[in-house]
């Protein structure tokens, strides 16, 4: 190959490279998704729940989706009238294909009344699934403590330092109707944790259970009350995080140390120049 030919080939390569920079070499990843998301009806908010302190209903929705989720919405109905529609916020991805969403309606609802709920789940491919159910707000109230820390509301996130948990439930309204209290973790209804009734008539009764988390991370908890009439009532829902606080402190500390080292090096070089 003579010099002219080599030069011509080199020019072609350079032109192609410039065109690639100018127009951008494009790559595409094709993801096949032929199945719609599946709403976990057992774990998603429905049925009998305790009346919220402010009268505003908070719902949790668990969705199984193998590829990716776009959004989850929920409609609140009073018979044939739609009261409100909200878009739920993604709380966490519990495993490879399970998503936990949560949202709160702004309407103040009535005790001992049944409302309709209509959930819609949409994945990234545009597939949709929906589920229509009902919810009844019963006159049952109480609060939960995790390792001595009181859970203030359904959006509360409790940070603990240990994997070992002691969870206590105090029923302040309707305690005489309680038949059993149990706990659901990460929406998994196949492994329920029962509470044991403690205390006495003089000091008051409460229910307690112990649980050891498998590892550091973020976990979703739901406390359910089964009353003597057979109503399965959701008393509380909250999130527990363990290990994240220390990790953030380590990251902040590392950034601070690097900043000090960089500043010291800069000042040292500046002094040498002088």
Domain count of the fold of the chain:
2
Residue 21 lies in a domain: no
Average pLDDT, the chain: 81
* DSSP three-state, residue 11: helix
d(C-alpha 61, C-alpha 240), whole Å: 17
> Is the distance from CB of 208 to CB of 168 less than 8 angstroms?
yes
Is the per-residue pLDDT at 198 higher than 60?
yes
d(C-alpha 213, C-alpha 242), whole Å: 9
Residue 262 lies in a domain: no
Which range has the top average pLDDT, 148-157, 193-202, 250-259?
193-202
Q: How many CB atoms lie within 10 A of CB 67?
A: 15
Cα distances (Å, whole numbers) of residue 270 to 180, 261, 267, 274? 71, 14, 5, 7
Reported as a single tens digit per residue, the pLDDT across 21-59 is: 555 555 555 556 678 999 999 889 998 888 887 889 999
Same domain, 87 and 121: yes
Same domain, 98 and 180: no
What percent of the chain lies above the pLDDT cut of 70? Answer: 76
Residue 95 lies in a domain: yes
d(C-alpha 104, C-alpha 154), whole Å: 9
Same domain, 110 and 144: no
Same domain, 221 and 243: yes
Same domain, 130 and 159: no
Is the per-residue pLDDT at 205 higher than 80?
yes
Chain centre distance of CA 204: 33
Strands (E), 139-216: 141-146, 149-150, 157-160, 164-173, 178-185, 188-194, 196-200, 204-212
Reported as a single tens digit per residue, the pLDDT across 55-91 is: 899 999 999 998 889 999 999 999 999 999 999 999 8
Q: How many CB atoms lie within 10 A of CB 79?
A: 7
d(C-alpha 7, C-alpha 222), whole Å: 72
- 56 lies in which domain range? 33-138
Q: When comparing pLDDT for 110 and 253, which is higher? A: 110
**Confidence (pTM):** 0.63
Same domain, 161 and 231: yes
For residue 159, which of 247, 260, 238, 241 has the smallest C-alpha distance?
A: 241
d(C-alpha 168, C-alpha 148), whole Å: 8
> Is the distance from CB of 115 to CB of 207 less than 8 angstroms?
no
Reported as a single tens digit per residue, the pLDDT across 63-73 is: 999 888 999 99
């Amino acid at each position: 190959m003579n010099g002219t030919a080599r030069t011509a080939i080199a020019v072609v390569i350079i032109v192609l490279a410039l065109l690639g920079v100018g127009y951008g070499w494009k790559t595409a990843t094709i993801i096949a998704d032929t199945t719609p998301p599946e709403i976990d009806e057992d774990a998603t908010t429905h049925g009998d729940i305790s009346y919220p302190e402010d009268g505003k209903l908070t719902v949790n929705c668990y969705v199984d989706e193998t590829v990716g989720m776009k959004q989850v919405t929920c409609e609140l109905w009073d018979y044939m009238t739609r009261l409100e529609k909200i878009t739920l916020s993604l709380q966490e991805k519990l495993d490879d294909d399970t998503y936990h969403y949560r949202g709160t309606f702004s309407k103040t609802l009535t005790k001992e009344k049944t409302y309709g709920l209509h959930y819609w789940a949409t994945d990234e491919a545009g597939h949709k699934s929906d589920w229509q159910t009902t919810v009844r707000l019963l006159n049952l109230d109480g609060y939960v403590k995790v390792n001595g820390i009181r859970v203030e509301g359904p959006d509360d996130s409790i940070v603990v330092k240990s994997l070992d948990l002691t969870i206590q439930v105090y029923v302040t309204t309707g305690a005489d109707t309680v038949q059993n209290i149990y706990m659901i973790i990460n929406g998994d209804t196949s492994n329920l944790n029962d509470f044991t009734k403690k205390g006495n008539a003089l000091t008051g009764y409460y229910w307690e259970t112990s649980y050891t988390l498998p590892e550091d991370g973020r976990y979703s908890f739901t406390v359910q009350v089964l009353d003597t009439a057979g109503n399965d009532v959701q008393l509380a829902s909250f999130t527990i995080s363990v290990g994240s606080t220390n990790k953030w402190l380590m990251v902040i500390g590392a950034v601070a140390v690097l900043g000090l080292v960089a500043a010291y090096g800069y000042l040292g070089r500046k002094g040498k120049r002088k």
